[in-house]
């Protein structure tokens, strides 16, 4: 056994001179470049070195023609899924995708008709409801319930009461962005039962499933039972886990052949093809060599979350931090500040000089909330906390 490598998350490379969306769009989104950007869900943490080593090695070959996703790449993902999520996936079940959101759109087109209803559980990552509306389907909003401690759960009664014959598809966010929940087996089983009873196909977006904090455990929806397997399309990938969104590669797993054929009909019309060589290489390296890195990353992320939690606990009259089980996205309940959404945004941009996502963009239940991405280096989390603390302090002092 080789020696365990210790990865360093204390600092990260400067992204200002790259085309990083998080930095480039500041002026457009926040009206100023003078904000520390903590919005879009990628990390201000270096992508792991073993990914670049594999890419550099491939670059030694001077031809970049069309390439197939090699079996070794799929096998790396299959082994990862087995090791980390106790699910057996066969190679023929996997399809290449450049984007989870694109896969979601293919599903909407493959498993519903114009005018049919698609379920989303709000507040949720905006492309969930945009994809439904842009494809001329009707949005069936099954709002999540908020519990006393600020955490969220499914509202099964609401879901059952809203489903009708036009309801064809459920877009599940598991783990959930932005509320940070890891759905328990019993919760998923109840969703499954409802979907089976009503002939509803499930698109399970599991892009955040590696970023789950102990003792929580991610349960792939398709792993619940054979019945679950037969109605599920799962989206998985390395984009969030290893900060590799720039390589634009994820996969879609569909165990049921009939479901896969239906999906493929739309997928082939669009011509997804096989993607980019460097994406295949990086995807494989991440899954093959990423176990230790991920373990250390999660410790680092959780310590950032703890620091943020301690800050919020110092200002209980202003911000309540939603308990988190997964993801690096903090869902800040700022309703106690008594500001309307415009003024709340202004507080974060002008007083704290931080660029967060407005809660309202995750649907109307996000009113009074803000989403803060804490996937940054140790140096940067201190800056972010200090900026937010001085803004809160001055608010407290000035009444
Ligand atoms: C739940 C969820 N799904 C999908 C995506 C985006 O995936 P992709 O870039 O592969 O379309 C994100 C990005 O934030 C996300 O949070």
Residue having the nearest C-alpha atom to atom 1 of ligand 1: 177
Residue 254 shares a structural domain with residue 335: no
Does the CB atom of residue 172 touch ligand 1 within 6 A? Answer: no
> What is the tens place of the pLDDT at every residue in 160-175?
999 999 999 999 999 9
* CATH number for 352: 3.90.1150.10
Does the CB atom of residue 204 touch ligand 1 within 6 A? Answer: no
Residue 364 shares a structural domain with residue 295: yes
Does the CB atom of residue 116 touch ligand 1 within 6 A? Answer: no
Residue 37 shares a structural domain with residue 127: no
Residue 79 shares a structural domain with residue 39: no
Q: Is the pLDDT of residue 13 over 80?
A: yes
Domain stops at, among 270, 289, 308:
289
The tokens 């700022």 sit on which residue?
Answer: 334
CA 101 to centroid of ligand 1, rounded, Å: 6
Residue having the nearest C-alpha atom to atom 14 of ligand 1: 41
Greatest pairwise CA separation for the chain in angstroms: 65
User: Which residues are within 8 A (CB) of 144 and not within 5 positions of it... i.e. 6 or more apart?
Assistant: 121, 122, 123, 152, 153, 154, 155, 176, 179, 365
> What is the tens place of the pLDDT at every residue in 258-303?
999 999 999 999 999 999 999 999 999 999 999 999 999 999 999 9
**CA 65: distance to chain centroid?**
31
> What is the tens place of the pLDDT at every residue in 316-337?
999 999 999 999 999 999 999 9
Q: Check residue 3 and give its pLDDT.
A: 80
Domain total for the chain?
A: 2
**DSSP strand pairing (152-153 vs 320-321):** unpaired
Q: Is the pLDDT of residue 399 over 80?
A: no
Please report whether residue 106 resides in a domain.
yes
Residue 243 shares a structural domain with residue 261: yes
> What is the tens place of the pLDDT at every residue in 130-151?
999 999 999 999 999 999 999 9
Domain stops at, among 289, 319, 339:
289
Which structure tokens are listed for 379? 């140096």
Residue 182 shares a structural domain with residue 211: yes
Please report whether residue 13 resides in a domain.
no
Give ∠ CA 9-12-13 in degrees, rounded to 5: 155
Section 27-31 average pLDDT: 98
Contact criterion met (CB below 8 Å) for 117 and 137: yes
Does the CB atom of residue 101 touch ligand 1 within 6 A? Answer: yes
d(CA 308, CA 301): 11
Does the CB atom of residue 203 touch ligand 1 within 6 A? Answer: no
* CATH number for 278: 3.40.640.10
Locate the ligand 1 atom nearest the alpha carbon of residue 237 and give its number.
10
Does the CB atom of residue 74 touch ligand 1 within 6 A? Answer: no
Please report whether residue 363 resides in a domain.
yes
Q: Is the pLDDT of residue 210 over 90?
A: yes
How many percent of the chain have pLDDT more than 90?
A: 98
CA 72 to centroid of ligand 1, rounded, Å: 25
Locate the ligand 1 atom nearest the alpha carbon of residue 97 and give its number.
10
Residue 59 shares a structural domain with residue 153: yes
Residue 330 shares a structural domain with residue 275: no
Query: DSSP letters of 290-334?
Result: -HHHHHHHHHHHHHHHHHHHHHHHH-TTT-EEPP-SBSSEEEEE-
CA 289 to centroid of ligand 1, rounded, Å: 23
Q: Check residue 17 and give its pLDDT.
A: 86
Full residue range of the structural domain in which residue 331 is found: 21-47+291-393
Q: Is the pLDDT of residue 90 over 70?
A: yes
* The model's pTM: 0.98
Average pLDDT across the chain, whole number: 97
Locate the ligand 1 atom nearest the alpha carbon of residue 329 and give its number.
16
Q: Is the pLDDT of residue 1 over 70?
A: no
Q: Check residue 167 and give its pLDDT.
A: 98
Please report whether residue 399 resides in a domain.
no
């Amino acid at each position: 056994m080789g020696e365990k490598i210790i990865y360093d998350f204390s600092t990260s490379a400067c992204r200002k001179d790259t085309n990083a969306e998080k930095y480039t769009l500041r002026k457009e989104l926040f009206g100023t470049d003078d904000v520390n950007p903590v919005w879009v869900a990628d990390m201000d943490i270096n992508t792991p070195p073993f990914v670049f080593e594999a890419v550099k090695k491939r670059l030694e070959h001077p031809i970049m023609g069309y390439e197939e996703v090699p079996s070794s790449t799929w096998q790396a993902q299959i082994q990862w899924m087995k090791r980390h999520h106790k699910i057996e996936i066969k190679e023929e079940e996997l399809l290449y995708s450049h984007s989870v959101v694109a896969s979601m759109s293919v599903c909407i087109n493959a498993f519903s008709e114009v005018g049919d209803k698609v379920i989303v559980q709000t507040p949720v990552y905006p492309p969930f409801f945009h994809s439904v509306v842009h494809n001329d389907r009707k949005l069936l909003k099954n709002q999540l319930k908020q519990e006393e401690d600020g955490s969220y759960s499914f509202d099964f009664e609401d879901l059952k009461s809203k489903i009708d014959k036009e309801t064809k598809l459920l877009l599940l966010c598991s783990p959930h962005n932005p509320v940070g929940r890891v759905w328990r087996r019993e919760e998923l089983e109840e969703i499954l039962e409802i979907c089976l009873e009503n002939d509803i196909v499930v698109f399970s977006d599991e892009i955040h499933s590696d970023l789950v904090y102990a003792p929580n455990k991610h349960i792939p929806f398709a792993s619940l039972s054979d019945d679950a397997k037969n109605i599920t399309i799962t989206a998985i990938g390395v984009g969030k886990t290893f900060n590799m969104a720039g390589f634009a590669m994820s996969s879609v797993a569909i165990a049921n052949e009939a479901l896969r054929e239906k999906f493929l009909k739309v997928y082939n019309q669009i011509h997804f093809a096989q993607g980019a060589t460097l994406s295949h290489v990086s995807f494989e390296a991440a899954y093959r060599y990423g176990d230790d890195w991920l373990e250390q990353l999660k410790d680092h992320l959780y310590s950032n979350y703890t620091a943020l939690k301690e800050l919020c606990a110092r200002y209980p009259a202003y911000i309540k931090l939603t308990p988190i089980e997964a993801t690096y996205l903090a869902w800040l309940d700022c309703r106690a500040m008594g500001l309307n959404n415009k003024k709340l945004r202004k507080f974060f941009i002008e007083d704290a000089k931080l660029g967060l996502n407005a809660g309202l963009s995750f649907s109307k239940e996000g009113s009074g909330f803000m989403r803060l991405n804490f996937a940054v280096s140790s140096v940067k989390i201190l800056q972010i906390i200090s900026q937010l603390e001085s803004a809160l302090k001055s608010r407290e002092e000035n009444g």
